[in-house]
Amino acid sequence: MSGARLRAEQLEAWQNNLRHECNVSPHTLSAYLRDLDKLDKHLEPSDTWQSLKTKDISHVLGELHRKGLEARSLHRWLSSVRSFYDFLLRQGLADHNPAKGIQGPQTAKTLPKVLDADQVSGMLDMTCDSPLLIRDHAILELFYSAGIRLSELVGLNVGDVVLNDGQARVLGKGSKERDVLIGSKARQALEKWLTVRSSFANEGETALFVSKNGKRISQRQVQVRIKEWGKRHGLDMPLHPHMLRHSFASHILESSGDLRAVQEMLGHSDISTTQVYTHLDFQHLADVYDKTHPRARKKD
């Protein structure tokens, strides 16, 4: 069997493992396969995955860098290659992971953009009459109230939300369930949406949020509607679901200083992921300092 044919068969086995055993999303699966395809295109027909050495992976990494692939994408590419080789090792199809230990290029830390509390209030403190706007309002309130991810919101079913208790159960990354809190404003918006949801939802549809065709709303539809909402309310930057999640985390941390609590609320498995919000909090303090300290303010 040719090396190229063997590579293709082992990639297919990994794909089946990701889809059926690891339950990764179609979006994640597609990203993994694109990354491995970048590596495969640099190989000779006779090469096998087992035959590759660390220097081969480093060479391809350098080629991708020279072609303009950004540092963040290169790190993801390395992660995909390592994950694939870990699978080969578990299956006895390789005896080493040539991507292990390779360092990707340094990335500049960029802080997520957040809204301040007044901006959020300006967008959400309103009364909606149109069923579609009632739905969109409930979506935005829930994003900001619970700090959930886009995939978690879209995956919610009616039965996952207990408004009397102010809680919802979401399915996060790695198929991990967690309970999130729903504030009073979001509860009111959801109650209003549930009174008109039946005018949209198809019979038997379990999704909490549905589109005009009566089926579960898609992630893309939510992104488009939220962006339009931001434009309509005069926001000077594109509004997206993750901005609301970032704003939620920043505002909670700013008020409480409890990083562990924010980690739990966001569903981060590693607290280092949550620590970016400590930078946001410090940035806020620095802004206040510059504006209020007598010896910090610039003279007019």
**Measured between alpha carbons, how far is residue 135 from residues 141, 215, 216, 256 in Å?**
10, 14, 12, 30
Location of structure tokens 């293709």: 8
pTM of the predicted protein model: 0.59
Domain 117-290: CATH superfamily is: Intergrase catalytic core (1.10.443.10)
What topology is assigned to 3-90 in CATH? DNA polymerase; domain 1 (1.10.150)
DSSP string over the chain: --HHHHHHHHHHHHHHIIIIIS---HHHHHHHHHHHHHHHTTS-TT--TTT--HHHHHHHHHHHHHTT--HHHHHHHHHHHHHHHHHHHHTTS-S--TTTTPPPPP----PPP---HHHHHHHHSS---SHHHHHHHHHHHHHHHH---HHHHHT-BGGGEETTTTEEEEE-GGG-EEEEE--HHHHHHHHHHHHHGGGTSPTT--BSSB-TTSSBPPHHHHHHHHHHHHHHTT-SS---HHHHHHHHHHHHHHHH--HHHHHHHHT-SSHHHHTHHHHHHHHHHHHHHHHH-TTTSPP-
- Per-domain residue ranges of the chain: 3-90, 117-290
Topology agreement, domain 3-90 and domain 117-290? no
* Rounded Cα distance, 120 and 162, in Å: 24
pLDDT score, position 174: 79
- Token readout for 278 is 């400590």
Average pLDDT of the residues in 120-124: 90
Task: Please report how many Cα atoms fall inside a 13 Å half-sphere around the Cα of residue 191, on the Cβ side.
Answer: 11
Tens-place pLDDT, residues 235-260:
888 999 989 988 888 887 776 766 67
Tens-place pLDDT, residues 11-35:
999 999 988 888 788 888 899 999 9
Higher local confidence (pLDDT), 244 or 110:
244
pLDDT score, position 300: 46
Q: Which of 89-103, 109-123, 193-207, 227-241 has the least mean pLDDT? A: 109-123
Average pLDDT of the residues in 38-45: 92
User: Could you list the active site residues?
Assistant: 149, 173, 242, 245, 268, 277
Confidence of residue 54 (pLDDT cuts 50, 70, 90): very high
Tens-place pLDDT, residues 188-218:
999 999 999 998 899 999 999 999 999 999 9
